[in-house]
Structure 1
Amino acid sequence: MERGLGSDSVPPPGSFDKSKVLDVRPLRCLAPVFPSPQGFPSPQGFPSFYPPQGPPFVYAPPFGPYPPGFTAFYPFYVPPEYQRPPEQNPQTTGGATNQAGSSRKNSKCHDVGLEVEEESDIKGDSVRSVTEDGCSDNLKQAAQQLSHPTNTDAEATSSGVRQKGKSSYKRVKISEEVRLSLASSVDTESVGTIVMRFDALRRRICQVEDAKDPVSGVTRRADLRAGTIMMNNGFRTNIRKRVGAVPGVEIGDIFFFRMEMCLVGLHAPSMAGIDYTSLRFNEEEEPVAVSIVSSGGYEGDMDDGDVLIYSGQGGNINRKNKQVVDQKLERGNLALEKSLRRGNEVRVIRGMKDVGNPTGKVYIYDGLYKIQESWMDKGKSGGNVFKYKLIREPGQAAGFAIWKSIQVWKEGITSRRGLILPDLTSGVENLPVSLVNDVDDEKGPAYFSYFPGLKNAKPVNLGECSFGCNCKGVCSPGNQNCSCIKKNGGDIPYIANRVVVSCKPVIHECGPSCQCQPHCFNRASQSGLKVRLEVFKTKDRGWGLRSWDPIRAGGFICEFAGEVVEKIKIEEVNDELEDNDYTFDATCTVEQPADFNYIPELLGEEKEVDMNKEYKAPLPIIINAKNVGNVARFMNHGCSPNVFWLPVLHEHNDGSYLHIAFYAIKHIRPLTELLYDYGTSGNQHRTKKCLCGSSNCRDYFG
């Protein structure tokens, strides 16, 4: 038996003295040992473990062909499976994700050009994606946390985030009629319907939240809430990721929220700039990029028409220790590098500043690009940054190029082709309205006097007392003491960016008799033009109206100005009005714009009665703009309109005055003709042949 430490006895010869302090290195400093890889024999005396030996150097061209077993290292080296961390090793068990960073429960890999059946990161499993500024993002978790800002007891699981608390935005039971109306048939109409329904829901959530008391430190993201509700109830399309074009999404389509792109399958990540998936090549899976968002978030991002220099994701400066962090060849960056080698097409979405919201962006789908080359550069912070040069595929429709042309016109660098007048309003409007003809030699429409309002208008008799509100400053949402809010059913009809929430029989706006300030957003239709409009010559329908700027759904465009025809004189001038192409007739029957209003059932609200019923102004009104009027007189009829009108009442001291205001039904891209439905009067003598060219054209109007 060995004597205890501290004994004064002398150990016998040949024994080990445990009292001595040995000069050894800690175990954690020793080089790790691994099982000897197949094909590399272990040295004598080490039958089981030995540091792996790398394969001998073999030269091969940068893009192949490669010898058997050769791993390409140009321009970036990808380690073999046994050297990869567990989360990047597809053979690792325990539910780990693959290289592409996506959980693929039911994935089927196909060749390039075919879509990949795959559960994306916004449908089921919890997937971390790297954002453009290097932050991590879990779409499902972020959306749930923003939907319930006070709930912090979410329990993360291997398959997602499970909420312990009760969620008010879970899957809800809706009528079969509503579900059928949102069936995704993967075409342009279904994509448009999804975006319209999302934005309608978002506007309503904004309206409800605006009416609540603000909670300090809580960021309300109505877009993420609306997106979560839509996805939880299956209202989305193009669910499977694919390489190439997305059915139903056209070049030049615009989106005001990334969540809109998620719902239609254009770009899945809610924050990350690179979307990618895995494809099978020669019995091996590789990540390839399917789309990127270029919004100027990284230094050095440049574009020159059909050429885009795109910076990779990640890197920058570590906020904790202020150290410079290099970008890594992983996730989206690795997918872009693989796409360079494979030559697959990548969808490009451009992000631009939103003229209607200084802090927001508008995203333009610019078509398909291919990556031509890549390299590593030094960023301003000192870290290494990946750079990728993308070239636009030829033969595609104009997308971002239109925006660049408009910017040149605004800056006055070059004149608009076919420009007749830079401002036909002669300064009457707060924004100039150009007059353009690039079709023929006509020098302009027949003479008229430009006037932005109504002439001969008289107060309408609503059978109730008319008085303004006593609000100080601006009308506050949720203030039930505001008389204007009461007249609107308890809500302000607009949200903070002056976008109308839903289609109502009539809107009560504040007027001269109200105490609130002129910048109150319940005066949205009274603040003049907010977008640059252009009167242009069409090919077969005379003069028309379009916008240089994008217009979001519900955005105010203009009101219809002119001379109000008194009711007693309508019969007298009826023959004259029949031949007048510049008349607005509110007595015509018009269908409510489909899909503009939100679905109350999705928010647990009661369904409105006859949501899709035909609506009319509270009193008949006809406005003659033949001799006096504004830009609205040039708006043509369309059987599939992108603009609708609402009767708006302004409160004056002597009563309520009726106006006709036009709003966008859906997001409208620049240089798209603005069309509204003239309606049907029931008078066969007043109908005219329709030339709108819509697939839903009814062949006549009026």
Structure 2
Amino acid sequence: MDGAYHCNEHLTGASDLCQGLEAQPVPVLGKQPPLFQYTPENVAGVGADLDPMEISFPGCDCRATVCLPDSCTCLPHGTNYNELRLINEKSEMRYARPIFECNIMCKCGDTCPNRVVQQGLQLQLQVFQTGQKGWGLRTLECICKGQFVCEYAGEILGFREACRRIQLQKPCDSNYIIALREHFHGGQLLETFVDPMHVGNIGRFLNHSCEPNLFMVPVRIHSMVPRLALYTARDVAAGEELSYDYSGVFHNPSTAGKDSENAEGGHEQRKRCYCGSSSCRGFLPYDASLYPA
């Protein structure tokens, strides 16, 4: 992959949507999007059980340049990255094993290869108007498969507050809330609700696609509150819009079929999908558990 993407359209005077809070500035093409408070990481919101900013994990005792699975307590399930690319043996791009990065309490240095998501945005991206889908996010450079792109960051909410906010939405409103449900050994269920509508990062501009080029993985660094990291599912060309599947799956035929069958009988809040892919399911995914029965 080589080459660069060039755009001759007018860029706004505000050259950085991230207000200097990311390692790379993110320009906006055309007019400015609605105002929101920028945060590069999750922040505690209403009803949050844990503060995502609180450091609760102990660090590893590694003093070598590279942390190794046999000796590093942050790598109980094996190496996470190879040359900054996520190691994933599953072809459908659904990550099964937990990902822990080294944290501020670790004795390894900042150059440890097990520190990727915490380095923040490293790519040249741009926010732009897509048409029917509203705002979108695209890359201005080529990205290789497995690279970290950005987080989906915002307010961490409790279940009741997530339900309250969703139920207040009008049919024409965009829903930014993501519900992550993780099943752990012993039947434990951990739910995380992230809302970047009012306080969030550039992940809020990512659109859904039934054939996405990104997939989401919960990554833990300082605490049990996961950071929703988005990685490339394939090589992505410069100028391509970045997208992921809002349902949390990646090219899952069984889910696609189910959505198509229930499209006409779905909840009244269900919204049309305009991703334009050949396998488009017609409607955006939605979480029925957050709506009243």
TM-score by length of 1: 0.33
Query: Given the alignment, which residue of 496, 501, 504 partners 2:87?
Result: 501
1:508-523 correspondence runs (5 A) = 508-523=100-115
Query: Given the alignment, which residue of 135, 139, 152 partners 1:547?
Result: 139
Aligned structure 1 segments of 4 or more residues deviating by more than 4 angstroms? 577-580, 680-683
Query: Given the alignment, which residue of 478, 483, 492 partners 2:79?
Result: 492
Q: Distance in 1 between matches of 2:164 and 2:103?
A: 32
The structure with the greater share of residues assigned to helix is: 1
Change (3 A) 1:419 1:472: same
Q: CA deviation at 1:685?
A: 4.2
Q: Map Cα deviations across residues 433-490 of structure 1 (whole Å, 9 max, x no partner).
A: 11003xxxxx221111111111106269xxxx9532111144433x41211111xx2x
The residue number in structure 2 matching 1:445 is 33
The residue number in structure 1 matching 2:251 is none
SS at match of 2:168: helix
Query: Given the alignment, which residue of 623, 629, 653 partners 2:194?
Result: 623
Query: Given the alignment, which residue of 13, 16, 19 partners 1:423?
Result: 16
Q: CA deviation at 1:538?
A: 0.8
Change (3 A) 1:568 1:582: closer
Task: Confirm or deny: 8 A CA contact 1:525 1:661 kept in the other structure.
Answer: yes
Q: CA deviation at 1:687?
A: 2.4
Q: CA deviation at 1:520?
A: 1.5
Change (3 A) 1:565 1:498: same
1:476 maps to 2:63: no
Query: Given the alignment, which residue of 625, 639, 645 partners 2:216?
Result: 645
Task: Confirm or deny: 8 A CA contact 2:59 2:102 kept in the other structure.
Answer: yes
Q: Distance in 2 between matches of 1:642 and 1:578?
A: 29
Task: Confirm or deny: 8 A CA contact 2:67 2:113 kept in the other structure.
Answer: no
Q: Distance in 2 between matches of 1:482 and 1:626?
A: 37
SS at match of 2:75: helix
Q: CA deviation at 1:569?
A: 2.6
Q: CA deviation at 1:498?
A: 1.0
Change (3 A) 1:576 1:470: farther
Q: CA deviation at 1:574?
A: 3.2
Task: Confirm or deny: 8 A CA contact 1:504 1:646 kept in the other structure.
Answer: no
Q: CA deviation at 1:622?
A: 1.6
SS at match of 1:646: strand
Q: CA deviation at 1:641?
A: 0.3
Q: Distance in 2 between matches of 1:623 and 1:658?
A: 10
The residue number in structure 2 matching 1:573 is 165
Task: Confirm or deny: 8 A CA contact 1:475 1:482 kept in the other structure.
Answer: no
> Gaps (5+ residues) in structure 2?
89-94, 183-187, 249-258, 287-293
Q: Map Cα deviations across residues 274-330 of structure 1 (whole Å, 9 max, x no partner).
A: xxxxxxxxxxxxxxxxxxxxxxxxxxxxxxxxxxxxxxxxxxxxxxxxxxxxxxxxx
Q: CA deviation at 1:649?
A: 1.0
Query: Given the alignment, which residue of 255, 271, 283 partners 1:688?
Result: 271
Q: CA deviation at 1:686?
A: 4.2
Change (3 A) 1:573 1:584: closer
Task: Confirm or deny: 8 A CA contact 1:641 1:677 kept in the other structure.
Answer: yes
1:678 maps to 2:246: yes
Q: Distance in 1 between matches of 2:128 and 2:16?
A: 12
Q: CA deviation at 1:568?
A: 4.0
**Higher RCO, Cα 8 Å, sep 6+:** 2
Amino acid at match of 2:74: C
Q: Distance in 2 between matches of 1:637 and 1:588?
A: 19
Q: Distance in 2 between matches of 1:685 and 1:540?
A: 20
1:454 maps to 2:45: no
Q: Distance in 2 between matches of 1:678 and 1:475?
A: 35
Q: Distance in 2 between matches of 1:647 and 1:669?
A: 25
Change (3 A) 1:659 1:695: same
SS at match of 2:116: helix
SS at match of 2:114: helix
1:47-446 correspondence runs (5 A) = 254=1, 362=2, 403=4, 406=6, 416-420=8-12, 421-437=14-30, 443-446=31-34
Amino acid at match of 1:673: E
Q: Distance in 2 between matches of 1:672 and 1:450?
A: 24
Query: Given the alignment, which residue of 661, 671, 674 partners 2:229?
Result: 661
Aligned CA-pair RMSD: 2.7
SS at match of 2:108: coil
The residue number in structure 1 matching 2:282 is 699
Q: Distance in 2 between matches of 1:470 and 1:578?
A: 51
SS at match of 1:436: coil
Q: CA deviation at 1:567?
A: 2.7
The residue number in structure 1 matching 2:129 is 537
Task: Confirm or deny: 8 A CA contact 1:577 1:583 kept in the other structure.
Answer: no
1:633 maps to 2:226: no
SS at match of 2:229: strand
Q: Distance in 1 between matches of 2:213 and 2:169?
A: 25
Change (3 A) 1:546 1:692: same
Change (3 A) 1:578 1:494: farther
Change (3 A) 1:647 1:674: same
Q: Distance in 2 between matches of 1:689 and 1:540?
A: 10
Q: CA deviation at 1:586?
A: 3.0
Change (3 A) 1:565 1:576: farther
Which structure has the larger Rg? 1
1:560 maps to 2:152: yes
Amino acid at match of 1:467: P
Q: Map Cα deviations across residues 655-694 of structure 1 (whole Å, 9 max, x no partner).
A: 4331100000000000100010001899734421100000
Q: CA deviation at 1:505?
A: 4.1
Task: Confirm or deny: 8 A CA contact 2:181 2:190 kept in the other structure.
Answer: no
SS at match of 1:559: strand
SS at match of 1:573: helix
Amino acid at match of 1:484: C
Change (3 A) 1:505 1:485: closer
> Gaps (5+ residues) in structure 1?
1-253, 255-361, 363-399, 410-415, 438-442, 590-616
Q: Distance in 2 between matches of 1:541 and 1:472?
A: 48
Amino acid at match of 1:470: D
Amino acid at match of 1:476: C
Q: Distance in 1 between matches of 2:74 and 2:170?
A: 37
